[in-house]
Homo-oligomer: A and B are copies of this chain.
Amino acid sequence: MQHMWLSLLSGLCLNLVFLCSAEEGLEFPNFDGKDRVMDINERNYKKALKRYDLLCLFYHEPLPANKGLQKRFQMTELVLELTAQVLENKDIGFGMVDSQKDVKVAKKLGLEEVGSLYVFKDDRVIEFDGELSADTLVEFLLDVLEDPVEMINNAMEVRAFERMEEDIRLIGYFKGEDSCYDILAFNFFFKVAKHLSLKMNEVNFYEPFMEEPAIVPGRPLSEIDIVEYVTQHRRATLRKLRAENMFETWEDDMDGIHIVAFAEEEDPDGYEFLEILKDVARDNTNNPELSIVWIDPDDFPLLTTYWEKTFKLDLFRPQIGVVNVTDADSVWLDMSNDEDLPTAEELEDWIEDVLSGRVNTEDDDESADEPENPDSLRDQDSNGNF
């Protein structure tokens, strides 16, 4: 069962052809072999920009000489091809821009980060910095296609809006085209909706997991005002790691570290711990030095055991710790007693110790008290304590 060329794949998915089901309605797409991804160059980029509602460009290094790296390159192409096939009817163009051959085009289009995917919609550019899988990419692009503005018409829809606590949200009263007042809510999805050019009274900004909004200052508000405000307040006190922008979130560290909390929302302990984290975040929302990255292991099945190994943790339980992003060194709060999750106050004391440097990933390396046993994931590599 050796398939060396496929040693590059991290997640495969295929339909259950062996199940021989006679029923229809759940057919996963197979790549049909048809080329849909364009080779973008100086001659065709303008036409491509005009031609599609959305143009999706992968900015890449030249084809490597190394065979192994070539396979990876082909896998990336394949992810793009499958995505293009799945979204064939959605008027989305896909292309590759070579960072060496197409250096001029890249400059004109403002492509900067090699390995990133850039989405052009109207006169805006959206950078995708998430997991490069067909699932994540298709979901992301379908979201970009959707109108980011929702009319809130009734109490049920207000509840739906309130439930989206993981996102940055803006909401405003404004005078609609039909001259009656509506409530307008939108996810700040990389761009501000055109609807904002309509007159309005006030726009409220909800940081993720906050119950109370902030009022975006300035009157009348321009699109620029709002973009600027959101950009400034983008890094939330508690932010969830999501496949669609996981690398962007991870690169946005705080002085080389992340405070990372693992909590499974569907598990009673995890849920309880998450509620405590939310309390802590609400108490400290004005502390610019604090941003906790919450990871729900359920969202990243392929990374769960990697994290357990790297951080020497048991992820069947909630965990919180400090991770040094340059070497993945970490220390974790001892919460080995299931019955006894820390209170919000205890957690705040520990966070204070982290922010002041009393708890840090380096101390841990000196103390040789705890034997390191790579086989036992349950040994906590922790020196945080109450």
Q: Does residue A164 face the partner (Cβ distance < 8 Å to B)?
A: yes
Closest B residue, CB atoms, query A131: B13
Return chain B residues, CB-CB under 8 Å to A79. 12-14
> Copies per complex?
2
The answer to whether A267 touches B138, judged by C-beta atoms less than 8 angstroms apart, is: no
Inter-chain CA distance A275–B185, complex, in Å, is 20
Q: How far is the CA of A185 from the CA of B269 in the complex (A)?
A: 13
Chain B residues within an 8 Å CB radius of A6: 31, 78
Interface residue? A358 (CB, 8 A): no
Considering the chains assembled together, what is the distance between the CA atoms of A142 and B306 in angstroms? 13
Chain B CB within 8 A of A115 CB: yes
Interface membership of A41, Cβ < 8 A: no
CB distance from A153 to the nearest CB of B (A): 7
Contacts of A3 in B (CB 8 A): 31, 33, 74, 77-78
Asked whether A250 and B23 contact (CB < 8 A) given A153-B339, A268-B160, the answer is: yes
A268 CB, nearest partner CB in chain B, Å: 4
7 additional A-B pairs beyond A13-B132, A24-B326, beta carbons within 8 Å, are: A11-B28, A18-B60, A25-B250, A138-B301, A157-B269, A160-B268, A160-B270
Q: Which residues of A contact B (CB under 8 A)?
A: 1-4, 6-33, 35, 37, 60-61, 69, 72, 74-79, 81-82, 86-90, 113-116, 129, 131-136, 138-139, 142, 145-146, 150, 152-154, 156-157, 159-161, 163-164, 185, 246-247, 250-251, 253, 258, 266-272, 275, 298, 301-310, 316, 323, 325-328, 339, 375, 377
